[in-house]
Amino acid sequence: DIQMTQSPSTLSASVGDRVTITCRASQSISTWLAWYQQKPGEAPKLLIYKASSLDSGVPSRFSGSGSGTEFTLTISSLQPDDFATYYCQHYNNYPYTFGQGTKLEIK
Amino acid sequence: QVQLQESGPGLVKPSETLSLTCTVSGGSISSYYWNWIRQPPGKGLEWIGYIYRSGSTKYNPSLNSRVTISVDTSKKQFSLKLNSVTAADTAVYYCAGEDCSGGSCYLKYWGQGTLVTVSS
């Protein structure tokens, strides 16, 4: 199985900050990577697919980049609604696996 | 807009079979791959498997011997069965629709999730 490792596990930031979350794959996954946002008590919500494609309706302050084994999710200017947990997920092959999550907290 | 709704018992006894159904509305069940994902309380996400309209399936090897996913296209439903459950199977179970059009696949549509507790 491909292991997905996110860093940091927890990130404290303020409204307006620019933040970056990193996801590393244990082997190359090309650009077969998605990012999800999850708020407490809710299902994950797709933000980005194919490493850098923004899902419809997702604010442009979210962006993704990377290929191979290293990927990043960047939020250019944090909004109050962005404080949540973020997961990366590969779909290079089966089984799909997710990163352990990055909890974005208010500083 | 595709909407998904999980249903099934919230409590299952150890060694018994967990059974959940996901009902699809607002879209065609023929258009997507239908997945199950679970999340133990306070933990991360684990992919369980998928089924396509043809009935073809793929399961996570960690659960392969215990899991069965089926589809009823006439009812616009797909189902999960997980047998011989233990406390480790306690989790929120999500159904999700995977869009593989355009050369890329991603879990686009998610149900709200249902908590299943394994306990006697």
Nearest CA in chain B to A30: B104
Residue B103: what pLDDT? 77
Residue A95: what pLDDT? 95
Cβ contacts of B44 on chain A, cutoff 8 Å: 87, 98-101
Question: Cβ separation of B44 and A99 shorter than 8 Å?
Answer: yes
Residue B75: what pLDDT? 93
My answer on whether omega of the bond before A44 falls inside 30° of 0, hence cis, is no
Residue B28: what pLDDT? 85
Using pLDDT thresholds of 50, 70 and 90, give the confidence band for residue A46. Answer: very high
Burial state string for A38-75 with b = 16 or more CB within 10 A and e = fewer than 16: beeeebbbbbbbbbbbbbeebeeebbbebeebebbbeb
Residue A55 near chain B (CB below 8 Å): yes
Q: Which helix (H) or strand (E) holds B73?
A: none
DSSP code at position A82: G
Using pLDDT thresholds of 50, 70 and 90, give the confidence band for residue B27. Answer: confident
